Amino acid sequence: MAHDGTGYDSTPEAPDEGGDDHRDQRRRAFRQKKRRRRAWLSQAERDGRIPAGRGLEHSRRVYPRPAPVRRTTLTGQGLTRTRISRLFRPLTKGVVVAVEQEDMPEEFRVTPEDCDGFHADIITRARAHWLLNMLTVIGYWAALAYHGVPYWCDGAPVVLLTSGSPRGEARSWLARLTPTVPVFRRFRSGTPTVCPDPEFPRMKVVTAPVAAAQCLKSLLRGTFGWTVPGNVPGLTVREVRAVQLLDAVYQCTYLTAAAVREGARRLVDREVLDRLLALADTGAQSPRETLLRLYVRDALPPGFHWTSQVTVRLDPDGRPWKHLIADLACEELKIALFYDGSYHRAEERRSIDFSQVQQLRALGWEAVRVDAALMRDVAEMMEQVTASIARARDGGSGS
């Protein structure tokens, strides 16, 4: 999606056709864009809009602006119905949000495709429903979004926990038929809550361990899910999604396995949870990196193992800042795997990555770069990984 304002243009990079001057100009633009992004994120952090977590900033969610408001509040401020209709759009009965949205870096935007039939991101929807139900507690996928998870949540219904009777359809494909209506489920007495939203400081949200367990429960029951390319040997699609969720929770929060187990009591079977936690990893910085690890987890010979986020020094005898971080690596065999996500697609970033990988191979490492297209062809991806392992065992890079 291309943004037409100043600041964060996501239009794809054009080919480099202007020689050294053009290349230098593009590099300066690349650096300026990074500085603007960093300044925007620093302000968002100061405003309390980015939940704390282990992961890099691109792996966490930023609370959106502007916030919803009740229509009666606007009329009380003197706005006419015509003006409200022009400047705001409806979210649910009696609650609207400004049409003009905040300009933010591309990777933090929630697109209509992310929302999968709902009319706004899940935090905006949760805020709107809470304004009409202030005695409820935010649970499930909206709560997980509040704890920083940027993936999947926006395609789920808002679940409000209440002392009253459950009502509403929690199965996401049916909930989308009534996208302006929340789901109500019973609040279990004693469930711990927090108040993370600086825009609505009285809003209660279940804690991160409870939110993670509630979402695991919905994944394992099949009431919510997302597309997983190919088949991961030895795992069902629901189990793969559950491991992706656990990896994301590890990145976006500071939760430990013990905290997840505590939150999952009476929600997720203990044996099932233990198996999923054994497959999870605190180092996966995107759901596709999780998938890559699950696909190749048994590809190495006996006695060897994969490690996430391995730093390889490209100048072992000199400059320590010249290094490369492999998403997955076997240091004993000197094999490095990389998942190239959207961050790696910009032309300047792509040229840096290519140069670094060439330096890595010159040091005797095998390197396999995987992107979304290759991951859709699981057989080809595994063939490349297997070939790199064979070359490594034979004594070095043949690339």
Question: Model confidence over 364-373: pLDDT tens digits?
Answer: 899 999 999 9
Residue type, 271: E
Question: Model confidence over 329-346: pLDDT tens digits?
Answer: 999 999 999 998 754 444
pLDDT at 369: 92
Boundaries of every domain in the chain: 101-279, 299-393
What is the average pLDDT across 101-116?
A: 91
DSSP string, 5-47: SSS---PPPPP--SHHHHHHHHHHHHHHHHHHHHHHHHHHHHT
Query: How many helices (H) does the chain have, and how many strands (E)?
Result: 15, 12
Q: Determine whether 81 is exposed, middle or buried from the number of CB atoms within 10 Å of its CB (0-12, 13-18, 19+).
A: exposed
Query: How far is the C-alpha of 190 from the C-alpha of 169, rounded, in Å?
Result: 25
Confidence of residue 357 (pLDDT cuts 50, 70, 90): confident
Query: How far is the C-alpha of 51 from the C-alpha of 254, rounded, in Å?
Result: 10
Could you give the C-alpha distances from 247 to 20, 264, 286, 339, 394, in angstroms and in order? 42, 16, 8, 15, 33
Q: Looking at the predicted structure, is the pLDDT value of residue 391 above 70?
A: yes
Question: Model confidence over 118-132: pLDDT tens digits?
Answer: 999 999 999 999 999
What is the average pLDDT across 263-288?
A: 95
DSSP string, 259-292: HHHHHTTTTS-HHHHHHHHHH--TT--SHHHHHH
Confidence of residue 8 (pLDDT cuts 50, 70, 90): very low
Q: Are 196 and 51 in contact (CB under 8 A)?
A: yes
Across all residues in the chain, what is the average pLDDT? 88
Q: The pTM is what?
A: 0.87
Q: Are 301 and 327 in contact (CB under 8 A)?
A: no
What is the average pLDDT across 53-75?
A: 92
Buried b or exposed e, range 185-199, using 16+ CB within 10 angstroms: bebeeeeebbebbeb
What is the average pLDDT across 275-286?
A: 95
Residue range 299-393 forms a domain whose CATH class is alpha beta
pLDDT at 342: 55
Strands, E assignment, 318-365: 323-330, 335-339
In this structure, what token pair is assigned to residue 180?
């302006």
Q: Looking at the predicted structure, is the pLDDT value of residue 41 above 50?
A: yes
What is the average pLDDT across 315-333?
A: 80
pLDDT at 107: 83
Question: How many Cα atoms within 13 Å fall on the side-chain side of residue 263?
Answer: 25
